[in-house]
Structures are given as C-alpha cells and as structure tokens.
Amino acid sequence: LPEAFLDFLKENGLDPSVYTPRYIRLKTGLEEIEAELKCKLEKVVWLSGFYSLPPDIKIATSMAYKQGKIYGIDAASGAAVSVLNISAGDHVLDLCAAPGAKLCMILDIIGDSGSVTGVDVARHRLAACRTLLQKYALGDRCRLFVADGTTFSLAPLRFREWTSRIPWKERKRAMKARPELIFYGRHSGIVGLTKEEIGYDKVLVDAECTHDGSIKHIQKFENWGWTTLQRRVLDPERTDSVTNLQLKLLTNGFRLLKVGGLLVYSTCSLTAAQNEDVVEQFLKDNASAELQEIDVAKNWPCKSGRIPKTLRFDPLTSKTSGLFVAKFTKL
C-alpha cells in the first residue's frame, strides 16, 4: 500500500493488515459447488447461507457462478441486509442499489410477496443490477430507477391496488415518467405517488463512501494508479463532500420510510466522519428518528460503534471487509 494510504489508516487508528477475506452466498447444493471450485468452503456459522473460500479461488469463471448458483458478497454486507429484518410481504427500498449483491439478497428473502425498489444515480452501474436480476431470475418483484437518491420521491404501490383501479394507458404513461425506469418486474408495483401511500416498510441506505474498508475497492487503485488515491479517498474536500451526500441520502431514505418501519444505514468506510458523525447529525436533525438495538447481532463477531446500538465490522475482529451499521425506526 502507498505511504499516503498507510498514513490515512494510521490517522484513523486502523491496522493495514486487515484487508484479506472473501465470501460467497450459496443458492444451491454445497457439495456440488465444492467439487467444481476444487476447494473446501467454510460455513459462516453466524450468518445463514454464507461461506468463506480461499482468496486465490476464482469464482467468476466457474459454471456455478455463470449459472447463478452462487453470489459473490461479503459477509458484512449480508449482515447489513439481515439487520433490516425483512419479512414476507415487505415493500423494500434499496436507495443505493448498485452493484446489486444486497439487492439480490433482499429479493431472495421476500420471495413471492412484497416488492423491492432499487435506485442508483449511475445508469451503467444500475444496468449491472439489471443483469444480476436476469441472471438469478429475481426480477418479478423488483423495479429499478436511475435517480438521485437524495431526491428520489416515489413510494411503493401495491400491485393489485394499482392494476384494479388504474387504466392501462395511464399505467404506461406513469412507467415512462421520470425518474428513469430501466427495469420493471411484472409483480413489482408501479411508479405512482398518491395520498394513500405511507412509505416503504424497510429502507436500506448503503451509502456512497470512500470505500477504505473494502479490499476489493482498494485493489482497484493498482489499475487506476495509486496517485489517484489522494483525490478519490484522502482529500479532505472529497471527504466533506461525501459526508454531506451521506447525510442527504440518509435523510431522504428516512423520509420515504413509513411510521414504524426500519431503516439501515451502512458504509464500507472505517472512518468516524462517514459513520458515527453522520448518524449523530441525522439524529439531531430528525426528532422522529430513533436508533434501534440490533438484537440479531448478539453472537456476531463485530464491535460496537462509538455510538451505542451501532455496529462495526472489520477484518481483524470479523474477518470481513469493514462495515458500519446503524438501524433506525420512525416514531
């Protein structure tokens, strides 16, 4: 790692030896996958469906991956989805959906009921989400919008309510309305925003960040050039810009949450500025927001954040990528 990044880690009290592990989530038989990958998968005992594998194993070229039998997703990311406590029939908003691993996990959980709305500001990244939905045959209850997550305003609409009362021509017009709809599952509800709508049951705000807790992201600088690290991660102006964005994303996600619903805020940054500081400011600005205890994490290998009821995953403690998690409800 370059000196500038090592200095960044030191300033934030982080050990550079933390960047190591890899995980997958299985959709089908373990023995079959192990035989093809020619390695033993180690079950993640604290998170259902997750397995760790040696870092030298390439899954992208395997038939299991191409056929949609396994997902590449870090265990900490899976934990963030688990914290949402998604139930059958929930209408879920994934406000920063790309590249789509968490989106797919949410869709697997809701199964044949409810809906998922995925939003991302980058069209090409959201197109990658669409590809994943098609690959894993998960699209029936999902819609994807290219939109700014800080201003996105469309509430969930129950499919049967919509189809029973709105003429088809009007439905088609709404589907083409901005923000740009690039994927529409046949049972995903639709665009409209009406007075009857009360918001999403669950909202995930896995916010844009400097990604300093993610080994996959840091490795990209070998191709981008380590000189760009200063501009993309370490520059104080960049950090200030990111934290302002994170607060706006969290605020808008909470606005779209129904009363009594749950929202999870997460980042893969290890810095306090992008995590606890954002949460503190958000709570100060939103009297109806209340931090919730994350009961499911009782036996998880993670630490408490600086704020009680928040969690921090890191490679040394958790053997995962770095991730901060906070759960809110709306009073």
Question: Which residues are documented as binding site?
Answer: 120, 148, 206
Taking only the tens place, the pLDDT of each residue in 193-231 is 444 456 899 999 999 988 775 666 566 556 656 566 666
Q: What pLDDT score was predicted for residue 177?
A: 47
Q: Is 104 a catalytic residue?
A: no
Write out residues in the chain with pLDDT < 50, as ranges: 159-163, 176-177, 191-196
pLDDT at 78: 97
Nearest Cα to 324, choosing from 279, 246, 266, 272? 266
The pLDDT score that the predictor gives to residue 8 is: 75
Residues 6 or more apart from 190 whose CB is under 8 A from it? 143, 157, 159, 162, 166, 171, 174, 175, 184
- What is the dihedral sign for C-alpha 237, 313, 205, 199? negative
Cα-to-chain-centroid distance, residue 120: 11
Domains of the chain in start order, with CATH, are 1-20+74-330 (3.40.50.150)
Residue 29 identity: G
What whole-number distance in Å separates Cα of residue 272 and Cα of residue 305?
A: 9
Q: What pLDDT score was predicted for residue 304?
A: 97
Terminal-residue alpha carbon distance, the chain = 45
Q: Which residues are known binding-site members for S-adenosyl-L-methionine?
A: 120, 148, 206
pTM: 0.84
Q: Which of 96, 104, 268, 302 is an active site residue?
A: 268
pLDDT tens for each residue of 51-93: 998 878 888 888 988 888 899 999 999 999 999 999 988 999 9
d(CA 84, CA 101): 15
